[in-house]
């Protein structure tokens, strides 16, 4: 039951940070209907989950539930990513759609890798 509480708190904090960072990023870099806010949040989330996983997976404590499952789960957003891709498809922005999907997957994997490397050193 305690783990559910940590997931709840982490998820709430992650969601609030996602909203703040996504809105700030989208206002700062409004580039040709590219969903920069979600992209930046998801890449930061990939990096953080790499760091947190590398460090906290070794320990069986509440921090992995608070930070990995809760915070990163609330912070990153696959559903928004999918909805934005659908919107790009519907509006005929095929080049932005392809760029967004490819960049998200490749840069996301690289961010997880770097997160794992940072915390191992």
**Rounded-to-integer distance, Cα 13 and Cα 67, Å:** 10
Alpha-helical regions (H) of 57-93: 62-63, 73-75, 78-90
Structure confidence at residue 36 (pLDDT) = 93
Range of the domain at 75: 2-120
Structure confidence at residue 30 (pLDDT) = 77
Return the number of other C-beta atoms located less than 10 Å from residue 108's C-beta. Answer: 20
**Rounded-to-integer distance, Cα 86 and Cα 102, Å:** 15
Residue stretches of the annotated binding site: 73, 76
- Per the structure, the count of domains in the chain is 1
Structure confidence at residue 32 (pLDDT) = 75
Structure confidence at residue 14 (pLDDT) = 97
Split the chain (121 residues) into runs of 10 and give each run's mean pLDDT: 95 97 90 89 95 83 91 93 95 96 97 91 64
- Output the pTM of the full model: 0.89
**Rounded-to-integer distance, Cα 94 and Cα 85, Å:** 9
Structure confidence at residue 121 (pLDDT) = 64
Residue stretches of the annotated binding site for Na(+): 73, 76
Structure confidence at residue 37 (pLDDT) = 93
Structure confidence at residue 120 (pLDDT) = 76
Structure confidence at residue 33 (pLDDT) = 83
The CA angle 105-79-45, to the nearest 5 degrees, is: 50
**Rounded-to-integer distance, Cα 111 and Cα 117, Å:** 10
Burial class (CB in 10 A: 0-12, 13-18, 19+), 66: buried
Find all residues with CB under 8 Å of 54, minimum gap 6, and list them.
115, 116, 118, 119, 120
């Amino acid at each position: 039951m305690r783990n559910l509480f940590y997931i709840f708190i982490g998820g709430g904090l992650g969601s609030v940070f996602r909203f703040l960072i996504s809105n700030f990023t989208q206002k700062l870099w409004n580039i040709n209907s590219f969903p920069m806010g979600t992209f930046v949040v998801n890449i930061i989330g990939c990096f953080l989950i790499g760091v947190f996983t590398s460090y906290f997976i070794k320990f069986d404590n509440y921090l992995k539930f608070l930070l990995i499952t809760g915070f990163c789960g609330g912070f990153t957003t696959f559903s928004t990513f999918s909805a934005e891709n659908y919107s790009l498809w519907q509006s005929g922005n095929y080049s932005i759609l392809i760029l967004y999907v490819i960049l998200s997957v490749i840069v996301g994997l690289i961010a997880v890798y770097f997160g794992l490397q940072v915390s191992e050193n």
